[in-house]
Structure 1
Amino acid sequence: MANRNNPDFDKDADAQGGGVQSVDRALHILEILAREGDAGVSEIAEEMGVHKSTVSRLMGSLVGRDLVRQNNERGKYQLGFGILRLATSIPGRLSVVHEARDVLESLAAKYKETVNLAVLRSNYAVNVDQAMGPSTLATYDWVGSLTPLHATSSGKVLLAALTVDERDQLLKRVGLPARTPRTITNRTELETQLLDVSRQGYAVVHEEFEIGLTAVAVPIYNHLGNVIAAVSISGPAFRFTPEDHPGLMEGLREAGLTISAKMGYRRR
């Protein structure tokens, strides 16, 4: 019977697995260091159930690639700056429009309404992509439209993510003009609503931007946990009441988190 405490056992296993096991173990080491902050060879070997020599051998490779570093000559190990270089190369290559596309289509098919993806640009919520539901009423193309932040569900999600100072400066520039009789034009009332948006994780508007239009939106986060976009579902007010639609809120939240995960966000 093979002895796991024998370092030759690990070498034989690596050879049989064509190196795949070594890769898996190296990734396991990185995950442990990411979770713990730092750890010694003995601690890592114990958690992984392998011999210390196996961990030492893998550490040598990781240190050589600058993915791991040692605090001092005999200290514990931490993630190295090589990890940071790899991580920072990803966001620039990620497009929220590209990553969100399949999710938008899925939402539109499931809830049979119009789904939009919006970002904050030049004091407005700009719709950058859209998926149409099967309804014949859902025919308006919102892509490229500049919509007011204070009167739309996506806009309120984006506003709620700003700091108080950022929001104050922005709203001083654009004001709170009424789009319909239901538009919130009082700053105190808006701030109260934005606190609710932050707490609840979604924003709903009933005919604030356009009479007859209801919408709900949730945030999309990047790898740093910052809100970078919002995904919304909108439909005619006579048939679309998101708060009363079974499972819609949770489904939309899950969709937002799915897109966020594609952008590098890690759920808390």
Structure 2
Amino acid sequence: MEKATQPEAVSSVMKVFSILQALGEQKDIGVSELSQRLMMSKATTYRFLQTMKTLGYVSQEEEADKYGLTLKLFELGAKSLEYVDLIALADKEMRVISELTNEALHLGALDEDGIIYIHKIDSGYNLSMQSRIGRRNPLYSTAIGKVLLAERDESFVRRTLADVTFIKHTEKTLNSVDQLLVELAMVREQNFAQDNEEQEPGLRCIAAPIYDRFGHVIAGLSISFPTIRFDEDRLSYYVELLQTAANKVSMQLGYQRVAK
């Protein structure tokens, strides 16, 4: 069954991309002209255009048989390039901190109602945070999650966590959105967040936000310690390392901090 349907699926994909390419070459084009150019039936061309319109990739002039591309493809391309740049730029700064501390470093981004690790540098110690790229963790109990939410308004935070159960990973894990919102206000003020054994017993994390060129927080950069190696007197030192690194990455992504 799969073998029989595969050629048809591949053919459909090729038709979609041929339509996108044709629309990219000409700003506005009608169904008849497009079908002739691509040597597809008018009915097939129209069906694909309507589907692409529903998905937001194609726009149609009101009461006219003219179609064009929206900016959705551009947005997807820009986002992809931004994350490629983000990882490369962050890696350089993360290695500087790794040389100075020998501790585990993570780069995480928002993934629906959680965070996802998109890059990491392992600790040089045997006793360290165990993680992997692609692993998801909660927003409410991680330092990265908190910096990702801190710049968002309350309605976004409540909507994002509406279906999330606040699991008590440890006795220090926050219990509710209301508790989290209080802490997020503090994170906004100090421009860094902490996970003080809220996700795993014996693990302390600190994170700083990374901004894109529009001033939106797109990632969090964190350092993680077993509590037996964490020195409270050096908290400000670790925060400064993270904020300096995050600011360098943000600036290279086009972010310009506005003086308050």
Into which bin does the TM-score normalised by the smaller protein fall? 0.5 to 0.7
Distance of 2:146 and 2:183 partners within structure 1:
9
217, 222, 230: which is aligned to 1:227?
217
Distance of 1:186 and 1:243 partners within structure 2:
30
Q: Does 1:236 align with 2:220?
A: no
113, 117, 120: which is aligned to 1:127?
117
Amino acid at match of 2:245: A
Q: 1:242 touches 1:249 (CA, 8 Å); kept in 2?
A: no
Segments of 5+ residues of structure 1 without an aligned counterpart are 1-88
Q: 1:91 touches 1:263 (CA, 8 Å); kept in 2?
A: no
What is residue 146 of structure 2 aligned with on the other side? Answer: 156
Deviation at residue 138 of structure 1 after TM alignment: 2.7
Q: 1:184 touches 1:208 (CA, 8 Å); kept in 2?
A: yes
Deviation at residue 136 of structure 1 after TM alignment: 1.9
Q: 2:129 touches 2:226 (CA, 8 Å); kept in 1?
A: no
Q: Which moved more, 1:136-145 or 1:208-217?
A: 136-145
Deviation at residue 254 of structure 1 after TM alignment: 0.5
What is residue 170 of structure 1 aligned with on the other side? Answer: 160
Larger-gyration structure (1/2)? 1
Deviation at residue 115 of structure 1 after TM alignment: 0.3
Secondary structure at 1:176 match in 2: coil
Q: Does 1:179 align with 2:165?
A: no
Deviation at residue 153 of structure 1 after TM alignment: 0.3
183, 199, 209: which is aligned to 1:193?
183
Quote the sequence identity (%): 28
Amino acid at match of 1:236: P
Please report the RMSD computed on the Cα atoms of aligned residues, expressed in angstroms. Answer: 2.0
Distance of 1:154 and 1:162 partners within structure 2:
14
* Structure 2 CA distance for partners of 1:198 and 1:152, relative to 1, 3 Å: same
Amino acid at match of 2:209: P
TM-score (norm 1): 0.63
Q: 2:103 touches 2:124 (CA, 8 Å); kept in 1?
A: yes
Count, aligned residues: 181
Distance of 2:138 and 2:79 partners within structure 1:
27
Distance of 1:263 and 1:175 partners within structure 2:
34
Distance of 1:191 and 1:105 partners within structure 2:
32
* Structure 2 CA distance for partners of 1:243 and 1:165, relative to 1, 3 Å: farther
Secondary structure at 2:119 match in 1: strand
TM-score (norm 2): 0.65
